[in-house]
Structures are given as C-alpha cells and as structure tokens.
Amino acid sequence: MAIDKFAMCPGGTGKKVKFCAGNCLPQLERLEKLITADQSRAARQQVTTWLERDPNRACLWAYKCLLDRAAGCVEDHAKSAAEFVRLFPDSPIALAELAIAQILENRFQEASESLARCVEQCEAQGYFYYRVVAAMTTVAEWLAEQGHIPAAIAYLWIASHRYDPQNHTETDEILQQLYDRKDVPLELRQMPTTGLFKDELRDLDSRVYQHVVRFRFALAEQEVQRYLETNSEEPQAWFCLGNLRLWQINYPGAAEAYLRCAQLDQTGPLGMVALLRATILKKNGFGDTENLYLLRYEVSDPERTKEALFSDPHLDHVPPDQLPLNNDLGPVQSQFLLLRYPRSDGFEQLLRDLDEPRPPLVSYVLYSRSRDDEPAQIVLTGVSESDRSWVETRARQWCGDEELKVLEESVFTTDSRILRMLRDVSSVSSRFVDGKWRDVESRLVESIPKWRWPVLEPLTLEEAARDPQKKQWARILLAHILQEIPDRHIARVLHEVWQKLHLDFDQEELARFIDKTADPLLIHFIDPARLSDEQLSAVCKLLFLYQQGPLLERFRPEVLQRRDRLDPELVYFVYEVHAAVFVRTRQQEWLTIHPELEEMITYCEQHNLSHGRLHELDLVGLVGILASKSTSTEIKKQALPFFEKLLEHLVRHHVNDPEIGPMVRDYWHKLTQMALAFKASLTGGRSLDELTQPQIWTPDAEPGPESRLAQPEPKKIWVPGMD
C-alpha cells in the first residue's frame, strides 16, 4: 500500500514523511501491506527486527506500539511506549501511547498528565493527530468501565467537540451511550460545564476552560482555589470546584465543594443541584438505603411446598413469559411475586400502605427443580433487611420445616426503601388496580408530604418545605425520585406534590439557569409557557439527548401550539416521541389521538419531512385495538376504516420510503390478510384461519369469481407499476 510522502510522519515528529523518514518508506509500505493482509503477527516481528537494528525511528515505534496493542500484549506495549517516549519525548504519538499504557495499568492520574502533554505538543506542532483522539477515547472508555461516568463524559466531550469536531461520529456514539446510562443518576451523566456563568466570573471561567480542554484539571482547580482565597462566599466558584474534583475522581472533595455551594445558595436552583450532587456522592446520602438479600433454601417435600406456594394468598403467580428472571438454577418451574398484603384485598391494602413508604412487593420467589434426583429449591430475591424475618417465617410455612435448610444468604445490592415502594407502585400495582390508577395517584399526593426521610428527621416532607433551612432538602428528595423513576404516573404525582408544597423557583431565574448550565433535571420544574421559542427548542433538544421521553410529554402541547415558529424537524420529533409513548402505554386509547396524528402527518407533508415512523406507530396502535379481545365491537368498527385507509396509503406512497418501505414490502401480504380477518370478524364472524384468498389485491394474489370471499367485489388497492 503506497504511503503519501507529504503526509505527517506517523511517529509524531511534526515533519512530513518525505523529510523525516524518507528512507523508511519501503519499510512502512511493507508494514501496511502485512496489516492489510491480516498478517499483524508477521508485521510485529518485522518491525521489532528493524528497531533492534535502528531504534531511532519514530515512525517504526508508532507501528510497534500499535501492533503490540492489537496483539493484546499489554506488558510489551507498556515497554514500547516507555522507550518511545524516552527517545522522542516531544512526540504526541509517543505520549498518546504512554497514556494508553498507563490507563491499562490503572494509573489514571499519570494517563491524564500524559494526555495534557500530548495536547501541548500538538499545539506546538500546529497539527492534531487522530491517534491522540483515540488515546483520549481509550482513557474515557476505561473510566466508564470503572464506573467513573462524569469523568468519562468529560474526556469524551473534550475529545469530540474540541479536537475532532469534523469526524467525531464514533466518539459521539460512546458519549450517547453514557448519556443513556439509566443506572447512573441523571445529575452525574451531564455534559461538562464549569458552572461559572456570572458576567463578573467570565475571566475565571475562561482560564478554567483553557486548562480543562487541555486536561490540566489540577491547574484549573488551583485557579479556582486561588479565587476562593479572596472570594470565599461565591457559590458558583464552589460549584465549579466540585465539578473539577468530580472529573478527577475525587468524590469526597467534590461532595465537600458542592455542599459548601449549597450552604451559600439556600434558595436558588444552583444550590439545589449542588445539594443533590453532594448527597448522591455520599454513601447512603438520603439515609434510607438498606441491604437487599438473596435467600436460597432447600426443599425436603417438593409436592407439599409446591401446593403451599400456589395456595398462599400473599403470592401472585407470574407466567414465565411475563416476568423473566435471570438465575443460575436451570429451569424455573414456577415464579411468584411475594406481596405484603393478600391478593384478595390488594387494592384497598395498597392504598392503606401508601400512608407509609412500605414497598408492596416484598420479593420475587422462584421454585426450581432441575431433575428428580436433585433437591428442589426456593429462591427469594430482593428481600430487604427489615422484611427478612417476616419472609423467613413464610418460607418455613412453604417448606414445612421448623429449621430452614439454608443454601445461600447473600447481600446482592442496596436500595432506597422509598424508591422501592414507588417503583413497586408503578410496575406491580397495575396487576391489582384495575383502572383505578387515579385513586392511587390521589392517595400518593396526600401521603408523600407526610412521609419521613431520615435526612429530614424529625420533620415530614411537608414540614421541611415550610422550613427555610430544609426547603432545598424537600426539593432534592422529590428531584431524586423523578430522576430515579422515569414513570409518567409517578412524575405527575410528584409535580402535584411540588406545587402543593410551594417549592417552585422563580421561573425567569430557572430558565436562565437551565440555559447556562444545560441541566436536564431542573426542566421538570419549569413552566413551558414561560420559555422563549429559543429556550423551548434548547430544552427539547436536551431532553432528546438524555432520552427523557416521559418528561418531553409536558412540552408537547406548547411545541405544537408554536409549531409555525419552531424548527419543523424539532416539532416532528417531539410528536413522534409522544406517539411512541402513547402507543406503548395507552394503546386502547389510540383512536383518541388519531385526529391529532393525521394533522401532524399533514404538517410533515407540508414541510417535506419524512414521517414514515408516524405511520408505523399508527399501524401498531390500530392493530392493537383490532386484535385485542378487550376492545369493544363498537371501537373496532371505528378503527377498521382507519386501518384500511392506512394500508392503501402505505402501498401508494411509502413502498420506497427508506423508513418503512421494507416493512411495507415484507409484511404486505400478512397485513392484507389481517385486514380481511378483522373485517370478517366484525361482519360474518370469520377468523383469519378461514381466509384462503386475500380480498385486497396484491401482486402475488389475484382473487377471482371462484373466491368464496369475493362477494361483494373486493376493493382493489393500487400497487406501483400495475394498472
């Protein structure tokens, strides 16, 4: 493979290949040929031999490090990188390889320093090498694997937006994966900002930013600390200090700085965010976390135990396809939900339990027996410390033994009791509520203000909201629930509680704060009507970035109302998210939004926007209504014309649509059969199994007079290319 003689030297010398390694061109081309032919091992042996003869070749060292890494030889790569830097201390490529070697040895601080030197040398040469961006990405991926998500996001963001703005697709994909990490609190997976947005802090912000984008976090921290020596009462400076320490994986130091910021700003959004971050970074910061156990017991009388499990009113049997649980027991014969209250009085008891944060779901229960010659087992997962004694009593009743034969007792995670309770309410109670969810919401709105959190003792949430010293705590507790449980029902409850307790911020101040910090959490508490068009667009883009679909629902009415003034693509995407959430959570009500959906499709056509996804969601919603046994005949009769009209529109206008064209072509025959089946079931009582010919014309089926379903004459649908 020919190498461009006027390209930059791959060894990072800052010279062109012709003037740096001109006599090495044949060697470099030979290495490229071997690598292209998947002969990396031979290439590695060859470059090692050449370097033994002449070690003063930066380009060959660059290939040596690359091939060592490709071969998975971590120790050899570390030695090669160290020698490369010793011989060429000003080479950005050498320093990038050293940073990779250091991070693979878990030496994060040294790797960060090497990256800083990399950037410095690239700036001195006036050229930025892609291998340096790759090294930044490698360090960020290591940080993510170790669970240091804020630092990983900071490194990736700098690499992508500062040093590789034109070709950052791969980096942005990794970045988006981190933004989407639902196991990480939303406050810890945000875009990096200094937090310095006052006009009088502009100079400090500039100095800090210049250090940060060069990975000189320690120097940036020193800048802020020098400022605080004479301005110790500035909350934004303390917030910035917390961010810098967070990116350096100094979590205790970050929590301390955030807490100081919160003490200085006890009323504003900055203080709330700082207090929330400080609390999240502390172990059991909210004070209600407890151990969750996995308990495994041997069963001596399988038949008796199985009968006891199915007859226990506190156990709700769950079909395997509805609640798949990962386990290492082999085939699970039965699985149950262990409820705090008997199934018979589930709804009323659930409402009573809401007065105190008592999780209605106590445990998942698995009954397993792989073979007849092996003992059966009962496994309980998610048993909290406070419920363990009650659970063990029930297990004795199931097993019929005074002494349980314990096979395993282990703590497998920890969780907040209040969060568990609300998760259970949103996911499990639907099995018992039977359409009474609004009653549950009303009870929660009454009960949550009376709950007591350990961090508020002896105050209730309602009392804390009235106390100026504790009001921010009331805010962060509700915000914490919102970011941990992205459920539309729970979100609606918490917004009502927020209003009831008068926790609102000044809306103009809040809008400015979100605009400056891009903090998605506080978007929960802003009135969409108070935002300018520009602010509304920015907020919606933030919610897209962090995959906050349920929250985006709050902004949909305002976006649609202003659609003539906003970017049409933004309007479309906001509505698409709404339609997707609606069809997933309220499919039986799909016809209620159908007029709005058709209006949105017309809007897309007027603005030449691709809108196949809306047709796909419409198809899913209509099929769900027509195929459901619980849908009334009257509703089905209303839905059928929409379904037939949609099929005709798809085949006329969307066969070649890149979004849904493949689906239309691949499933057209099946869709037409479904249309006939739905129509037959509503008119003549026929089912899909009785249909032998499709009534709607398709290229591979031509109904004739012999068709027993050809009366009346079937309506033909035009297919492209056919008269």
To the nearest 10°, the Cα dihedral for 144, 145, 148, 152? -20
What's the average model confidence in pLDDT over 630-645? 87
CB 219 within 8 A of CB 211: yes
Question: What's the burial of 483, exposed, middle or buried (CB within 10 Å: 0-12/13-18/19+)?
Answer: buried
CB 153 within 8 A of CB 178: yes
Number of helical H runs and strand E runs in the chain: 33, 6
Tokens of 527: 């009135």
pLDDT at 346: 61
Bridge partners for 316 per DSSP = 337
Judge whether 122 lies within some domain.
no
Checking if the pLDDT of 420 tops 60, the result is yes
Checking if the pLDDT of 430 tops 80, the result is no
Q: How far is CA 368 from CA 192, 209, 371, in A?
A: 48, 58, 9
Tell me which H or E stretch contains 293. strand 289-299
pLDDT band at 4 (very low <50, low <70, confident <90, very high): low
Tokens of 215: 């990975």
Select from 591, 716, 722 the least CA-distant residue to 644. Answer: 716
Output the CA angle 244-278-424, nearest 5 degrees: 130
**C-alpha to C-alpha distance for 698 and 696, rounded to whole angstroms:** 6
Name residues whose C-beta falls within 8 Å of residue 484's C-beta, 6 or more positions apart in sequence: 185, 416, 419
pLDDT at 345: 65
CB 47 within 8 A of CB 67: yes
**C-alpha to C-alpha distance for 5 and 59, rounded to whole angstroms:** 13
User: Per residue in 200-214, pLDDT tens?
Assistant: 899 999 999 999 999
Shared-domain flag, residues 497 and 581: no
Checking if the pLDDT of 493 tops 60, the result is yes
pLDDT at 139: 92
pLDDT at 219: 95
Query: Mind giving me the DSSP string for 36-61?
Result: HTT-HHHHHHHHHHHHHH----HHHH
Looking at every residue in the chain, the average pLDDT score rounds to 83
pLDDT at 431: 59
Select from 274, 315, 284 the least CA-distant residue to 416. Answer: 284
- pTM comes to 0.81
pLDDT band at 603 (very low <50, low <70, confident <90, very high): very high
What's the average model confidence in pLDDT over 267-290? 91
The overall longest dimension of the chain from CA atoms, in Å, is: 95
**Greater model confidence, 369 or 559:** 559
Judge whether 457 lies within some domain.
yes
Checking if the pLDDT of 721 tops 50, the result is no
Cis upstream peptide for 712 (omega within 30°): yes
Q: What is the CATH number of the domain that holds 258?
A: 1.25.40.10
User: Per residue in 356-399, pLDDT tens?
Assistant: 887 877 888 888 766 666 788 888 888 988 899 999 999 999 98
Shared-domain flag, residues 625 and 547: yes
Judge whether 542 lies within some domain.
yes
Task: Looking at 105-129, list the stretches that DSSP marks H as alpha helix, in order from N- to C-terminal side.
Answer: 108-125
pLDDT at 417: 85
Amino acid 132 reads V
Shared-domain flag, residues 329 and 234: no
Shared-domain flag, residues 519 and 504: no
Shared-domain flag, residues 264 and 243: yes
End-of-domain residue from the set 467, 486, 510: 510
The size of the chain, in residues, is: 723
Checking if the pLDDT of 524 tops 90, the result is no
Shared-domain flag, residues 499 and 517: no
State the residue range of the domain holding 655: 513-674
**C-alpha to C-alpha distance for 262 and 271, rounded to whole angstroms:** 4
> What would you report as the CA-atom Rg of the chain, rounded to the nearest whole angstrom?
32
Checking if the pLDDT of 251 tops 90, the result is yes
pLDDT more than 90, % of the chain: 30
Please identify which residue in the block is written with the tokens 């090497």: 114
End-of-domain residue from the set 510, 529, 555: 510
Tokens of 189: 């997976």
Amino acid 660 reads I
Cis upstream peptide for 324 (omega within 30°): no
Shared-domain flag, residues 493 and 587: no
**C-alpha to C-alpha distance for 422 and 467, rounded to whole angstroms:** 25
pLDDT at 628: 83
pLDDT at 269: 93
The helix-helix angle for 251-264 and 235-247 (nearest 10°) equals 170
Q: What's 539-560 look like in SS3? A: HHHHHHHCCCHHHHHHHHHHHH
pLDDT at 374: 73
Checking if the pLDDT of 331 tops 80, the result is no
pLDDT more than 70, % of the chain: 88
What's the average model confidence in pLDDT over 564-588? 87
**C-alpha to C-alpha distance for 216 and 112, rounded to whole angstroms:** 8
Judge whether 22 lies within some domain.
no
| Beta carbons within 10 angstroms of residue 436's beta carbon | 14
pLDDT at 703: 36
pLDDT at 691: 36
Name residues whose C-beta falls within 8 Å of residue 466's C-beta, 6 or more positions apart in sequence: none
User: Per residue in 696-720, pLDDT tens?
Assistant: 333 333 333 333 333 334 334 333 3
Select from 620, 569, 568 the least CA-distant residue to 590. Answer: 620
Judge whether 663 lies within some domain.
yes
Tokens of 411: 């703590």
Number of domains in the chain: 4
Pairing status of strand 332-339 against strand 361-368: antiparallel
User: Per residue in 448-492, pLDDT tens?
Assistant: 999 988 888 889 999 999 999 999 999 999 999 888 887 778 888
**C-alpha to C-alpha distance for 563 and 572, rounded to whole angstroms:** 9
Shared-domain flag, residues 525 and 640: yes
Query: Mind giving me the DSSP string for 315-381?
Result: EEE--TTTS----SSSSEEEEEEEESS-GGGHHHHHHHHTTTT--SEEEEEEEE-S-TTS-EEEEEE
Shared-domain flag, residues 352 and 274: no
Shared-domain flag, residues 656 and 544: yes
User: Per residue in 660-696, pLDDT tens?
Assistant: 888 888 888 888 888 888 888 887 654 444 433 334 3
pLDDT at 212: 93
pLDDT at 23: 66
Amino acid 473 reads W
Sheet strand arrangement including 315-317: 315-317, 332-339, 361-368, 376-384, 289-299, 405-416
pLDDT band at 432 (very low <50, low <70, confident <90, very high): low
pLDDT at 689: 41
Question: What's the burial of 723, exposed, middle or buried (CB within 10 Å: 0-12/13-18/19+)?
Answer: exposed
**C-alpha to C-alpha distance for 198 and 509, rounded to whole angstroms:** 13
pLDDT at 5: 67
pLDDT at 161: 80
Select from 633, 648, 713 the least CA-distant residue to 679. Answer: 633
Judge whether 709 lies within some domain.
no
Select from 530, 531, 467, 476 the least CA-distant residue to 498. Answer: 476
pLDDT at 500: 94
Q: Say how many CA atoms lie within 13 Å of 585 toward its Cβ.
A: 15
Shared-domain flag, residues 446 and 566: no
End-of-domain residue from the set 259, 281, 303: 281
Judge whether 164 lies within some domain.
no
Grouping H, G, I as helix, E, B as strand and the rest as coil, residue 639 is helix
Judge whether 694 lies within some domain.
no
Checking if the pLDDT of 605 tops 70, the result is yes
Select from 72, 64, 150, 126 the least CA-distant residue to 104. Answer: 72
User: Per residue in 23-42, pLDDT tens?
Assistant: 677 777 777 788 778 787 88
Select from 538, 541, 620, 638 the least CA-distant residue to 582. Answer: 620
**Region label for 330, one of left (φ > 0), alpha (ψ between -120 and 50) or beta (otherwise):** left
pLDDT at 701: 36
Shared-domain flag, residues 503 and 523: no
Task: Looking at 71-201, list the stretches that DSSP marks H as alpha helix, in order from N- to C-terminal side.
Answer: 74-87, 92-104, 108-125, 130-145, 149-158, 169-179
